[in-house]
Amino acid sequence: MVKAYVLVVTNPGATKSVFAKLQTVTGITGCYEVMGPYDIVAEIEVDDLSQVPTILGEHIRTIEGVESTTSLVTFPD
């Protein structure tokens, strides 16, 4: 199992709609609105590291209102 945390910056006023869309993405197991330089933290859990770029590129970064993302991939146990 591979876990990754995606730190999301949204356009002003788009946080709620981006948050709602992120919760429907397959592979995202947790989604949290946060305060600070990022607006949302999404937790991804997948079987293989090769699935992470697809989720990022095709399902997160394409959401209207997403301004930028930073990804943190954990080391497997």
Q: What is the pLDDT of residue 75?
A: 85
Is domain 2-39+52-67 classified as CATH 1.20.810.10?
Answer: no
Return the domain boundaries, the chain.
Answer: 2-39+52-67
Residue 4: exposure state from Cβ atoms within 10 A (0-12, 13-18, ≥19): buried
pLDDT value at residue 76: 76
b/e string for 48-61 if b means 16 or more Cβ within 10 A? eeebbeebbeebbe
Can you give the pLDDT at residue 2?
93
pLDDT tens for the 77 residues of the chain, in order = 999 999 999 998 999 999 999 999 999 999 999 999 999 999 999 999 999 999 999 999 999 999 999 999 998 76
